[in-house]
Amino acid sequence: MKRNFLITAIAILIVAIILDVLVVSGHVHVKFPWSHVPGFFSFFGFLGCLAIIYGAKLLGHFWLQRGEDYYDKDDEHE
């Protein structure tokens, strides 16, 4: 599983970088600091996804997530 994952990820990354170098870098009109980094959006996608998953989980566990009866439990006036 881990092995398959690594092989797939690296293979796609290599293809992406080759495509970036060959196709994208010549076409981009607006230059940002990351426009010159081949495979930038691969890294951004991968790390961004992990950042959202773990960022959200941290926020949720330490602050925002509560039991489903959080708002209902003190509703004795009904």
Partner 1 sequence: MSNFPLAIIYIIGAVLLPVLPRRIRSAFCLIVSVAAFVFLINLETGASLTFPFLNYELVVSRVDRLSLAFGYVFVIMGFLGGVYGYHVKDTLQQVTALLYVGSSLGVVFAGDLFTLLFFWEIMAVSSLFLIWARRTRESRKAGFRYLLVHAFGGSALMAGILLHLQQTGSLLFVHFDGGAASYLILLAFALNAAVPPLNGWLPDSYPEGTVAGSVFLSAFTTKVAVYALARGFAGLELLIWSGAIMAVYGVVFAFLANDGRRLLSYHIISQVGYMVCGVGIGTQMAVNGATAHAFAHILYKGLLFMGMGTVLYATGRNKMTELGGLFKKMWPTLIFFMVGAFSISGVPLFSGFVSKSMVIHGAEMEHLGAVVLLLNLASIGTFLSIGLKLPYFTWFSTDRNLKTEPVPKGMYIGMGLTSALCIAIGVYPALLYNLLPFAVDYQPYTAPHLIESMQLLIFTGLAFWLVMKKLHAEATITLDTDWFYRRPSRLAFNVFSVSVCELFGAIERLSLRFVRYLVRVGGNPAGYAVEATKNAGHILLRTEKPAREPSDFSPDRYRIPLGIMVLVVLLALIVILAWDFLF
CA-to-CA distance for 5 and 66, rounded, in angstroms? 34
Alpha-carbon distance 25 to 68, whole Å? 50
Which CA distances in Å does 45 have to 11, 36, 69, 74? 16, 17, 36, 43
48 contacts: CB under 8 Å, gap ≥ 6: none
Give yes or no for residue 3 binding partner 1 (CB under 8 A): no
> 32-71 mask for partner 1 (x: CB under 8 A)?
xx-----x-xxxxxxxxxxxxx-xxx-xx--xxxxxx-xx
Residues numbered 10-29 forming contacts with partner 1, rule: CB under 8 A: 12-13, 16, 19-20, 23-24, 27-28
Q: Give the footprint of partner 1 on this chain (CB under 8 A).
A: 5, 8-9, 12-13, 16, 19-20, 23-24, 27-28, 30, 32-33, 39, 41-53, 55-57, 59-60, 63-68, 70-71, 74, 77
